[in-house]
Amino acid sequence: MNGWEPVYSDGFAPAVELRRVVLENYAIPAIILNKKDSSYHFGMIELYVPSESATRARLILDEQYGFNFSLN
């Protein structure tokens, strides 16, 4: 995914969706990429934002949730 960076990942889909909504409330477009295996229920769900918004997105998530779940 050229031009997009992961800013959060979790195995629990509602946690990722909540953070997507938070970022979109700050006018940061965000998409979810589900890498979770549907048969065995392992793997992660990742939240991506445009590369130019990644630093701001990480700061917002850190501020909202008290610590940073970023992949980088």
> Is CATH 3.30.70.1530 the right assignment for the domain spanning 4-65?
yes
Secondary structure class of 32 (helix, strand, coil): strand
Q: What local confidence, expressed as pLDDT, does residue 72 receive?
A: 44
Q: What local confidence, expressed as pLDDT, does residue 54 receive?
A: 96
Q: Check the CA dihedral 43-51-18-33 and report its sign.
A: negative
Over residues 18-59, the pLDDT tens digits come to 999 999 999 999 999 998 877 777 889 999 999 999 999 999
